Amino acid sequence: MTSDRDTPPSSGEDPETDRLLDGIRSGQRAALARAITTVESKKVDHRRRARAILQALLPDTGKAVRLGITGVPGVGKSTTIDALGTLLTEKGHRVAVLAVDPSSTRTGGSILGDKTRMERLAVDANAFIRPSPSAGTLGGVAARTRETMLLCEAAGYDVVIVETVGIGQSETAVAEMVDTFLVLGLPGAGDELQGIKKGVIEIADIIAVNKADGDNAPRARQAAAEYRSALQILTSPDASWRPPVVTISGLTGDGLDLLWTEVLNHRLNGEQSGAFDDKRRRQQVAWMWTMIREQMMAAIQHRTDVRARVGELETAVAGGDVAATVAADEITRMLGLGEV
């Protein structure tokens, strides 16, 4: 980009883009919310504006601690995020909470649901809660959430928490957009690790056994010990980091300070070993490829001639009249990509 640092880059031609950029840079919630609506929109002119905004804000992004949180329904994600987020805003941080829930067909309901379970954060001037973009492909939902994360960073949120429910591949999608991936577990993990998939433990940077309060406290400590031994037989993706297991209570707030310390330890450790920069770089490139795939699919949807021909070819391929390879080649050519 040719812009210099004294004059923030702007679209130069779209006043709404300029208004959004100014609003986001000065941390205005309304502008942030409007920009998020713009990145979530499928309209071509909105997508164009979204790209202009994201490019212009690029120098203002990347500075937050990006924390992913997953765990089975009822494990206490909302409760924990409410308590941890409040602890962080009390420390002077600005916290954004986003979600990836591709199964979500809820509209306003999920905002209400999430916000009533995050009572304190919902009314905290230094917190911003945004529910998952409405149902779509996981790739699409994750794409919008990642863009929203960048907007939040540019608006001055220095902690971004991305929550997901343990459905399908959504955990992997969230793990791929954050620096630190936290898996919440329950006391009584001994019963085959409480339905938490082994694959999820493998991508955890930190495990926290929640509900370690009252009568549950001893069982939570026992579960933590079991997670620790389960982790020993797994090879960690980052050789310089052994995922710690902590016990917490989202309800009482016990252990959340230590949990946050572990998040910062993970960051520090990664900065020293180089794993942090590597991961961010890898994520950005993987992100570009995801977008290329998304946009190719979108191009097929947008071009009526291509869409019509895809329909005919599907029938021909299903009927055994045209080889799938040949059909794919025809569409690739129609998109102007030539012979590949």
Ligand X SMILES: Nc1nc2c(ncn2[C@@H]2O[C@H](COP(=O)(O)OP(=O)(O)OP(=O)(O)O)[C@@H](O)[C@H]2O)c(=O)[nH]1
Torsion of CA 212, 213, 215, 217, to 10 degrees: 40
Of the candidates 35, 252, 268, the residue with the CA atom closest to the CA atom of residue 149:
35
Residue (73 or 319) nearer to ligand X, CB: 73
Smallest distance, Å, CB 73 to Mg ion?
8
CB 171 within 8 A of CB 70: yes
Q: Is 104 in the site for Mg ion (CB under 5 A)?
A: no
C-alpha dihedral sign at 208, 103, 285, 127: negative
Query: Interface residues for ligand X in 116-135 (CB under 6 A)?
Result: 117
* 49 touches ligand X (CB under 6 A): no
Name the one range near Mg ion by CB under 5 A: 21-29, 72-80, 264-272, 307-315: 72-80
CB 124 within 8 A of CB 86: yes
Binding flag, residue 78, Mg ion (CB under 5 A):
yes
Cβ closer to ligand X: 34 or 117? 117
Q: Does 210 bind ligand X (CB under 6 A)?
A: yes
Check residue 79 for interaction with Mg ion (CB under 5 A). no
152 binds ligand X (CB under 6 A): no
* Residue 23 contact partner, candidates Mg ion, ligand X, none, CB within 5 to 8 A by sort of partner: none
Q: Which is nearer to ligand X, 150 or 165 (CB)?
A: 165
By CB under 5 A, residue 164 contacts Mg ion: no
CA 245 and chain centroid, separation: 22
By CB under 6 A, the residues from 93 to 112 that bind ligand X are: none
Site for Mg ion in 285-324 (CB under 5 A): none
If contact means CB under 5 to 8 A according to the sort of partner, which of Mg ion, ligand X, none does residue 33 touch? Answer: none
Site for Mg ion in 10-49 (CB under 5 A): none
Q: β-strands 127-129, 95-100: how paired?
A: parallel
CA dist 125 and 231 (Å) reads 39
The beta strands (E) that lie in the chain are given as 65-71, 95-100, 127-129, 159-165, 180-185, 206-209, 245-247
Q: Find the binder of ligand X among 53, 56, 67, 75 (CB under 6 A).
A: 75
Burial group, residue 148, by CB count within 10 angstroms (0-12, 13-18, 19+): buried
Dihedral sign computed on CA atoms, order 182, 183, 184, 185: negative
Binding at 101: pick from ligand X, Mg ion, none (beta carbon under 5-8 Å per type): none
Does residue number 219 form part of the binding site for ligand X (CB under 6 A)?
no
Using CB distances below 5 to 8 A depending on partner kind, what does residue 170 bind out of ligand X, Mg ion, none? none
Rule CB under 6 A: choose which of 21, 54, 57, 71 binds ligand X. 71
Nearer to ligand X, 251 or 310 (CB): 251
Task: Specify the 3-state DSSP secondary structure of 100.
Answer: strand
Other C-beta atoms within 10 Å of 271: how many?
12
> Which residue ranges make up the site for Mg ion (CB under 5 A)?
77-78
